[in-house]
Amino acid sequence: MNRPAATARQPAGAPWTALPRVRLALLPTPLMRAERLEAALGCGLLLVKRDDLIGFGMAGNKARPLEFLLGAARARGAEVFVTGGGPGSNFCAAAAQAARSVGMGCELVIWGEPDSPNLALAVAAGARLRPTGGSQREAVDRQVAARLAELGPRGFGVPRGGSTPLGAVGFAAAAAELAAQLAAPPSVIVLPVGSGGSIAGLLAGLAAVDLEVPVLGVSVSRPPEEIAARVHALAAGCAALLGTTPPRPDACTFVDARGSGFGIASELERERARLALHTEGLLLDETYGAEALSVAVDRLADGAGAVVWWHTGGILPAVRTMMKGTA
């Protein structure tokens, strides 16, 4: 199947244009003003970066790293893409579909109970599941490495979330994409953070295009100090790979959003997510979308002039929640 031609507006000679890339996403994703939601909440200017509309399966933000990861895998002549995650991993589902789109196989090391719409999609796309047989996330990366050692040059793999310096390049390019869409710099960019690759790439990309905007990461699974160290290392690695200026350590801050538990939104966050659906037709998952939107709204309530909230997708988990009637 032919992929659509590249449509991303990239600065001529942008450093990521030198890297092998597989086109998955329809770029740029829209940047939309949520006027009805603003009116319903009585808040200031809310711009939504619509990676939920990224145009490749249900991949959301994870299509971006996969373009560069699969580009490298293909350039090395690998036949099997190996990664892993939790049962609800959006990255795993996206990886399974993306590997297929370039004729590669996919193996997924999964901790916990392998029962979710995302894994059903991955299996339907032909991925082979390798359950760790336990509930420890850390086992995944060890088993991915072991499987890669067995496969040798036939395999290409990445740890959970695809969050490596190369994977982060996808969001470095997204920073340039956003910069080209903005009429004026916002007060802050808010995005949800899991394994940290997306925000790390965004920080590296903002520094590369010299756009100084504070970034606020909504950490859903790790304490702020832990995720900050991880993100700074990933961002520095990404900048080194691109040969660009690394972001300043104070370019971003983190909010601890683990409060109600991983994947569980509070009643206020659910209420705001419901409003986003009722006023703008935006569908949000509880793990990432509802948490990040709520932080963006809090910032506007605190007086931020204009906020960009990155809607990263999470569509299949959102549909599951909706069908359970708790959305």
> What DSSP string runs through 111-137?
-S---SHHHHHHHHTTPEEEE-SSS-T
- Please report how close the Cβ of residue 91 comes to ligand PLP at its closest, in angstroms: 5
Residue whose pair of structure tokens reads 């900050």 in the numeric block? 228
> Which residues lie near ligand PLP (CB under 6 A)?
60-62, 90-91, 161, 163, 192-199, 288, 312-314
CA distance 130 to 152: 18
* Closer residue to ligand PLP in complex, CB, 132/312: 312
User: Is 193:199 a contact under the CB 8 Å cutoff?
Assistant: yes
* Closer residue to ligand PLP in complex, CB, 60/105: 60
- Please report how close the Cβ of residue 315 comes to ligand PLP at its closest, in angstroms: 8
Coil vs helix vs strand at 249: helix
User: Is 274:251 a contact under the CB 8 Å cutoff?
Assistant: no
User: Is 289:314 a contact under the CB 8 Å cutoff?
Assistant: yes
Catalytic site includes residue 116? no
- Please report how close the Cβ of residue 211 comes to ligand PLP at its closest, in angstroms: 20
- Please report how close the Cβ of residue 222 comes to ligand PLP at its closest, in angstroms: 10
Residues in the chain: 327
- Please report how close the Cβ of residue 141 comes to ligand PLP at its closest, in angstroms: 14
* Closer residue to ligand PLP in complex, CB, 39/262: 262
SS (H, E, C) 48-112: EEEHHHCCCCCCHHHHHHHHHHHHHHHHCCCCEEEEEECCCCHHHHHHHHHHHHCCCEEEEEECC
- Please report how close the Cβ of residue 88 comes to ligand PLP at its closest, in angstroms: 9
* Closer residue to ligand PLP in complex, CB, 179/200: 200
Coil vs helix vs strand at 200: helix
* Closer residue to ligand PLP in complex, CB, 29/312: 312
The CA–CA distances, whole Å, from 212 to 51, 57, 221 equal: 22, 32, 27
Q: Identify which of 322, 325, 316 has the alpha carbon closest to the alpha carbon of residue 87.
A: 316
* Closer residue to ligand PLP in complex, CB, 195/321: 195
Catalytic amino acids? 89
